[in-house]
Amino acid sequence: MASTRNLVGETAAGNERGKVLVMRDEEKAEEDDSPSAKRSKFERFPLTRWELAAALGVFFVFSTGLFCIYLIMPAADYGKLKLPRTISDLRSLKDNLATYASEYPAQFILGYCSTYIFMQTFMIPGTIFMSLLAGALFGVVRGLFLVVFNATAGASSCFFLSKLIGRPLVNWLWPEKLRIFQSEIAKRKEKLLNYLLFLRITPTLPNLFINLASPIMDIPFHIFFLATLLGLIPASYITVKAGLALGDLKSVKDLYDFKTLSVLFLIGSISIVPTLLKRKRIYE
């Protein structure tokens, strides 16, 4: 009788231990599927050691070139020079650079272009202030030429940098946006230039994303280059022209009010008219 009771007790205890183990396994599975666990997996750095070394190597080469350019620049009070982050900083920088730009125009333009392209290549925020500065120092015509040239050159450098190491980075940062972009590109293979022109002219997608995602989507460089060169002109004109009246500008947000955005979308819509007309013919 006692042995029977012991056997029943051991069986019950074994069942209890089994239930506890099952509950622990379920809790562990729930933890693995929890938002915090997914977030920790998502936050893993996407680049391999080789890709990171390649990125640092390219950055070192560009930085060395930029440093060498500054070494040959005429002497100046570099303590007063810094990348602007506000309109107030930009006004101070413009006052400090006005005399220098008039006395050494060629050297200044070389330094300006090198800095702009460097910032655009490595996605350093602040190029909009550089565009405003071009308008303030050079006027609309020369300023627009400089901004479009530098923005196109920097975007092209960013394109090739992304071609080298960009795929894991873009997939990590914007997975959903990249899938949408891929589907839109697939629909417009025959009129890709028109579509990219629309994206460049309008603020539909950030220019940074377009620069990084385009080589991943196998967009030919000549189409990317032409769309960038032409598509940046309207927005660059607005920014450069605003640089002529820095005293009236309170914030960068004032550049793109409802009226300005409407004009940009109107111009952008014109670029996709051929695509719409072709679709209409197909349906007919």
Indicate the pTM of the whole model.
Answer: 0.79
pLDDT tens per residue across span 155-174: 999 999 999 998 888 999 99
At 232, is the pLDDT very low, low, confident or very high (cuts 50, 70, 90)? very high
Q: Which of 9-18, 117-126, 225-234, 269-278 has the lowest mean pLDDT?
A: 9-18
One-letter amino acid of 74: P
Residue 148 DSSP SS3: helix
> How many residues are present in the chain?
284
CA pair distance 101, 87, nearest whole angstrom? 20
Residues 6+ apart with CB under 8 A from 242: 132, 135, 249, 254, 255
**Residue 92: strand, helix, or coil:** helix
d(CA 227, CA 241) in angstroms, rounded, equals 22
- Six-digit token string for 49: 């050691």
Backbone angles phi, psi at 224, to 5 degrees: -60, -45
Helix or strand (DSSP H, E) at 40: helix 35-42
Q: How far apart are CA 57 and CA 253, in angstroms?
A: 36
Burial environment of residue 161 by CB neighbours within 10 A (0 to 12, 13 to 18, 19 or more): buried
**175 phi and psi angles, rounded to 5 deg:** -60, -45
Please, which pLDDT band fits residue 43 given cuts at 50, 70 and 90?
Answer: low
- 3-state per-residue secondary structure call for 69-130: HHHCCCCCCHHHCCCCCCHHHHHHHHHHHHHHHHHCHHHHHHHHHHHHHHHHHCCCCCHHHH
Note whether 217 and 209 are within 8 A (CB). Answer: no
- CA nearest to 184, candidates 221, 210, 150: 210
**pLDDT over threshold 80, residue 25:** no
What is the DSSP-derived secondary structure letter of residue 188? Answer: T
| Interatomic CA distance for residues 66 and 16, integer angstroms | 70
Measured distance CA(5)–CA(13) in Å, rounded: 12
At residue 219, the pLDDT reads 95
- For residue 24, what pLDDT band results from cuts at 50, 70 and 90? very low
Q: Which two structure tokens, joined as six digits, stand for 136?
A: 């303030």
Q: Cα dihedral sign for 35, 212, 219, 52?
A: negative
pLDDT tier at 252 (50, 70, 90 boundaries)?
confident
Q: What is the pLDDT of residue 19?
A: 46
> What is the rounded distance in angstroms from the CA atom of residue 219 to the CA atom of residue 166?
14
Q: Which residue has the tokens 């350093």?
A: 124
From residue 168, how far is each of 44, 56, 120, 124 by CA, in Å?
11, 16, 20, 19
